[in-house]
Structure 1
Amino acid sequence: MSNPAESSTTESSWDPKTLIVAGGRPAHGLDAPVNYPVNFTSTYHSQGIAAAGEKVYARFSNPTWDPFEEVLGTLERSELPALVFSSGMAAIAAALSLVPAGGVMVLPAHSYNGTLGLAQELETAGRFTLRPVDIANTAQVLDALDGADVLWLESPTNPMLEVADLPVLLSAAGEKDVLRVVDNTFATPLLQRPLELGADLVVHSVTKYLSGHSDIIMGALVTRDEALRARLHGYRTLHGAISSPMDVFLALRGVRTLSVRLERSQNNSQVLAERLAQHPKINVVRYPGLPQDPGHARATELMDGYGSVIAFEVGDSAAHADAVLAAFTLITGATSLGGVETLAERRARHASEPATVPENLIRLSVGIEDVEDLWADLSRALEQI
């Protein structure tokens, strides 16, 4: 069986919609499998001084990881494979390890609360200093870069859906020799590719859109820098932050349908956001696809779509939002996002969420169900308040 990297000489020229289906496959040949098998092993035949690239032990590498790492690396426009991790948080922890001791990290005040929580814990321990910023305020972010070591970006942000001017921010950070990290979970590489804009490192919670079925926990990092990838591979190996072969196999199977899933869920999101914006029980709708959204112009210019997450404020209290969530029959009340099913959650129910996230804000991760069924469930639930 050939190495995944040898499966095609044309993958770099394929459209991403083709790559996610055809990339990372065994070479064509009589009786060759269409998919790589799951490789369950903890170790490999090995003796003497290990040669470069020799597997040796399954904490270092596993052939089941290779096809997924190849596909995600190519999708993010890197010539290097991605690195899979045991969870999105494991990938985030690896990326945060790049902040030098005593250094300064600039990050969005509204970010995934796991990122914020771990960064704040490290700051409390004296590891580094945080500079929270409004990521949509380009001037504020540029000012915060002076003396910084790492710029951490999310765009759109979780859960407020603010859109950053990635080209400007990444260029300015590069001029100041600031390491540039972008969490691309919400957008996926089908909607934006931060490495092309100057990012040094891209973070993914594979749990979300890439795997797409709410059945695994997994993360990934992607870079174009061989030395940086080697450093992060070393972190993964020493910290044991590896993903199981079965999870990576399922993630690759999930990513095969990313394009069609995202197309359907985005179309649903646009319809629902427009209707929510007209509903008398809704105060604010945040979705970059709406012309009145603060991030609309920037997202239209910089992204290849608006994504599939909507945030809206309902009524005037947490109780109103909770009443709506309790009334859903089709939409599932649960945390997480990016699956085929529509999930809804009042984000401020988490004590770790920033205080500036409104108590009555519901984050809606829109799935691929029939949009009229989703709207019927939403509109009926809204009548409960």
Structure 2
Amino acid sequence: MVEQQVGSWSARTRAIVAGRPSGQGQPMNVPIVPASTLGLDYSREQGTPTWEALETAIGDLEGGTATAFASGIATVSAVLDLLPVGAGVAVPTDSYAGTRALFGRAERAGRISVRQVEPADTGAWAKAAAEADLLWLESPTNPSLDLVDVPAVAEAAAASARRPTVVVDNTFATPLGSRPLSQGADVVVHSATKLIGGHSDLLLGLAVTADETLAARLREARTLGGATPGALEAWLALRGLRTLPVRYTEASRTAALLADRLTAHAAVTRVRYPGTGTMIAFELAGADTADQVCHRLRLIRHATSLGGVETTVERRAARPGDAQVAPGLLRLSVGLEDPDDLWHDLSAALST
């Protein structure tokens, strides 16, 4: 049996105890349940105890009912399945390339129409709320770390006669940095591959909503689409969640220090850091310079993913679908290494 409520404890405590088995003689942790069927039903139809524990814990932290998916992009696809043919979708001009690619494919197939909105332009979001069926937000955005005024956009959506669904990708902020459902959003999504998992060893996505009708539709999309998480992946994501508060706090402290030092470095033309969190975006003179810095780094890994215990860097404009990003922008995901070691590696690469 999974504990459903953990009272009024802090998020740090709830991340550790939510979803644990309760009752005398129960194991400390929910076991991995690698079952394809449970009684007369497939596990994809009713879930497994491992999924349930993860969903309970994330749902508690975000304030809604959670549904786990095979990956972050599978979660986006399930949200897309909620829309009728011909629906209008508004997305930030700066946002995860995989999400924009998925929406773009749906638009080319005639399923939806897509408009792009500057992340910080609240007035443009309000206008989109009057015309679109779905507002897809990221705050901070990936990779440029722009901020969206989620409460203001949600308020505009609620006041609109069209009443578009407001979805927030909360992967960068995590439930510790932001709780969009409490700010008026309808659905929150995560790539648990990133900070929630925290160890670069799994693919998994999550959607959370306080609307039980939406929750049922998301679960139906998972069941019929077959986008079910693996038993091991769900267990690893739950284990990663247990240490998220400590990892997030420590990595954010290091990120703030590195952001200050990068701001003062002569080779850096701009630093984008929202003041909290584990992600930094900083710009250099151009693509060649940024590529050279990536190749000179010895401790920091040149890799595409993020949110793990190891610090990684990537020039996003070099990736397909991110041509709109400044050519010299590097996205830095700060991990748990010693801050001075990270700065020594960065400063050496920047100064060569």
Please give the TM-score of this superposition, normalised by the length of structure 1: 0.89
Match of 2:177 among 175, 191, 197: 191
**Secondary structure of the corresponding residue to residue 324 of structure 2:** coil
Deviation string, structure 1 residues 238-296 (Cα, Å, up to 9, x no partner): 1110011111001100000000000010000000000000100001111012xxxxxxx
* Count of paired positions: 349
User: 1:141 maps to which residue?
Assistant: 125
**In structure 2, distance between residues paired with 1:243 and 1:41:** 12
User: 1:167 maps to which residue?
Assistant: 151
Q: How does 1:269-280 map to 2 (within 5 A)?
A: 269-280=255-266
Answer yes or no: is 1:246 the counterpart of 2:267.
no
Q: How does 1:249-268 map to 2 (within 5 A)?
A: 249-268=235-254
Question: How much has 1:383 moved relative to structure 2?
Answer: 1.6
User: 1:181 maps to which residue?
Assistant: 167
Question: How much has 1:8 moved relative to structure 2?
Answer: 6.0
Answer yes or no: is 1:312 the counterpart of 2:307.
no
Please give the TM-score of this superposition, normalised by the length of structure 2: 0.97
**In structure 1, distance between residues paired with 2:208 and 2:178:** 14
Match of 2:112 among 128, 132, 143: 128
Match of 1:324 among 276, 290, 293: 293
Deviation string, structure 1 residues 336-377 (Cα, Å, up to 9, x no partner): 111111000000111211x33111110000011110000000
User: 2:316 maps to which residue?
Assistant: 347
**Residue type at the aligned position of 2:10:** D
**Contact 2:191 / 2:204 at 8 angstroms: preserved in 1?**
yes
**In structure 1, distance between residues paired with 2:181 and 2:171:** 14
**Contact 1:331 / 1:342 at 8 angstroms: preserved in 2?**
yes
**Contact 2:151 / 2:183 at 8 angstroms: preserved in 1?**
yes
The unaligned stretches of length 5 or more in structure 2 are none
**Secondary structure of the corresponding residue to residue 336 of structure 2:** coil
**In structure 1, distance between residues paired with 2:7 and 2:128:** 37
**Residue type at the aligned position of 1:58:** S
Answer yes or no: is 1:356 the counterpart of 2:324.
yes
Q: How does 1:1-385 map to 2 (within 5 A)?
A: 3-4=1-2, 7=3, 9=5, 11-29=6-24, 31-46=25-40, 56-60=41-45, 61-78=47-64, 80=65, 82-176=66-160, 177-289=163-275, 306-314=276-284, 316-353=285-322, 355-384=323-352
Deviation beyond 6 Å, 4+ runs, structure 1: none
**In structure 2, distance between residues paired with 1:27 and 1:58:** 22
**Residue type at the aligned position of 1:367:** G
Question: How much has 1:226 moved relative to structure 2?
Answer: 1.1
**In structure 1, distance between residues paired with 2:229 and 2:197:** 13
Question: How much has 1:98 moved relative to structure 2?
Answer: 2.0
RMSD, aligned CA:
1.1
**In structure 2, distance between residues paired with 1:182 and 1:317:** 31
**Contact 1:174 / 1:180 at 8 angstroms: preserved in 2?**
no
**Residue type at the aligned position of 2:291:** D
- Are residues 93 and 8 of structure 1, via their aligned partners in 2, closer, same or farther at CA, if it must alter by over 3 Å? closer
User: 1:51 maps to which residue?
Assistant: none
User: 1:301 maps to which residue?
Assistant: none
**Contact 2:4 / 2:56 at 8 angstroms: preserved in 1?**
no
**In structure 1, distance between residues paired with 2:286 and 2:35:** 52
**Residue type at the aligned position of 2:115:** R
**Contact 2:103 / 2:114 at 8 angstroms: preserved in 1?**
yes
Deviation string, structure 1 residues 9-61 (Cα, Å, up to 9, x no partner): 5x1412110001111111142x4210111111111223xxxxxxxxx111221
Q: Percent identity?
A: 47
Deviation string, structure 1 residues 124-172 (Cα, Å, up to 9, x no partner): 1111111100010111211222221111100000011111111110011
**In structure 1, distance between residues paired with 2:204 and 2:320:** 24
**Residue type at the aligned position of 2:84:** P
